[in-house]
Amino acid sequence: MNEHALHGMRVVDVGTSVSGSYCARLLADFGADVVKVEDLSDGGDPIRSDGPPITNRDGAAGDSALFVYLNQNKRSVAVDLQSEQGREIWRRLLFGADVVVDSGETGSLSRQDVSFEQIERANPRSVVVRISPFGQGGPYSGRPACHLTVSALGGLVTSLGDPTREPLDVGFPLLEYVSAVVGAVGAVASWRACRDSGRGRLVDVSQQEVAVRMHMYPTVMATLGLSTKRRTYFPMYIMAQNGWVAVNTLSAQHWKDACVFMGLDEVADDQTMSDPAVRNAAAPALQKRMDAWAADQQREDIFEVGQLLRIPVGIPYTLLEVVEQEHYNERGLFRPLETTGGTVKQPAGPFGSSPIRDDWRDAPGVGEHTTEVVEEWLRDGDRTRVEEG
């Protein structure tokens, strides 16, 4: 018996952005049969060339590291969407899938003039996940966007940093990945509901709306007239002998304990420091004293002692350092994966002890599985009725 959580789910991935690819990869990690369908007339998935290529074992330039990460455990079908035969295979794969994942400003479905209604008519229990900057309706739908503009229009950048200064960019395409997780959850929930109801579902994920949901708590507080300002101030980074240490104080007790820990006893006892304005004014001088205190210490020692004192202390690890961390490796987060560029460590799955697949596979080459997928999927007439609608 196959114990993979999503064994039996057929997924077609036609997305051309991070959010769609990562959404489909999450489904693949849990055992779904995910097929990435690429357009040969357009050079295949554009993410293949997004960033420096990985050098293959034979010395040739391969796909980008981003593509390799986003497309593990998938199969690839390549068709020429400029040809009638290519479009026919593309549509039949869509109509035979349990879940179709699309992403981008307009999406591949819109560019090929295929609607959710057409897919549902051909396969009444199908789920279509569409992840886009602004959703499938509304005045912004289909407009060009990037992570910065969507974060800005979703209010995310103004919820960070100092309100007296310019908005603070997130600095990473966070919404692409969070929206992908939302899409994957929606796909699984809808897949189950469709099997019970016999009706298809459209999962319309707007990255802008995901941004709003991520920081709605302070918005609700402000609506109720409650202050959203932090009650305590503390410089968040200090420089130890061998690198940065992150320190935070989430309560008055944290503040006192951190000051005593760093030899600032008189500051801990200073009642005027309870006023954020006073603390802000004193911050530059305090920063110098804390850096001087940490200058001859190892960041690991500060971290361990701070943790024992129940002070929120952390080390800003580089990603290479993260891969080597004992905590992650003891929990089995990383697993070796053989790729065309060599062996790499990859996160094995988003949850500990989760029913993920054990046959972890490298990202596919362009059209690597075209013949086998077409033979497997298109010979099953019950699941591939082609109806133009």
Q: What is the DSSP string of 37-78?
A: EEEGGGTS-GGGGSSSEEEPTTS-EEEEHHHHHHTTTEEEEE
Question: How far is the C-alpha of 321 from the C-alpha of 308, rounded, in Å?
Answer: 22
Type and span of the H or E element at 308:
helix 299-308
Q: How confident is the model at residue 105 (pLDDT cuts 50, 70, 90)?
A: confident
pLDDT per residue as tens digits for the range 319-349: 889 988 888 888 888 888 888 888 888 887 6
Containing H/E element for 291?
helix 276-294
CA distance 56 to 146: 31
366/62 Cα distance (integer angstroms): 11
**Spatial separation of the C-alpha atoms in residues 238 and 54, rounded to whole Å:** 36
Residue 62 pLDDT class (50, 70, 90 cuts): confident
32 pLDDT more than 80 = yes
Sheet strand arrangement including 99-103: 74-79, 33-39, 10-13, 99-103, 127-132, 201-206
pLDDT digits (tens, 9 = 90+) for 225-251: 765 554 445 667 999 999 999 998 888
Average pLDDT across the chain, whole number: 87
Residue % of the chain over a pLDDT of 70: 89
The whole model's pTM is what?
0.87
pLDDT of residue 226: 65
Distance CA 74, CA 233 (A): 47
| pLDDT for the residue numbered 1 | 46
Percent of the chain, pLDDT > 90? 54
85/238 Cα distance (integer angstroms)? 62
Residues 6+ apart with CB under 8 A from 5: 30, 31, 354, 355, 356
pLDDT at 61 over 50: yes
Rounded distance between C-alpha atoms, residue 176 and residue 186, angstroms: 15
Computed from CA positions of residues 350, 352, 353, 359, in that sequence, does the dihedral angle turn out positive or negative? positive
Q: What is the pLDDT of residue 235?
A: 63
Per-residue CA distances from 73 to 92, 123, 252, 337, 350 (Å):
22, 25, 48, 11, 15
Q: How far is CA 375 from CA 72, 74, 320, 363, in A?
A: 22, 17, 42, 21
Residues of 175-194 as b/e, b for ≥16 C-beta within 10 angstroms? Answer: bbbbbbbbbbebbbebbeeb
When mean pLDDT is compared across 67-71, 189-193, 344-348, the lowest value belongs to 344-348
Q: Give every CB contact of residue 333 below 8 A, 6+ residues apart in sequence.
A: 347, 348, 352
Pairing label, strands 243-247, 237-240: antiparallel
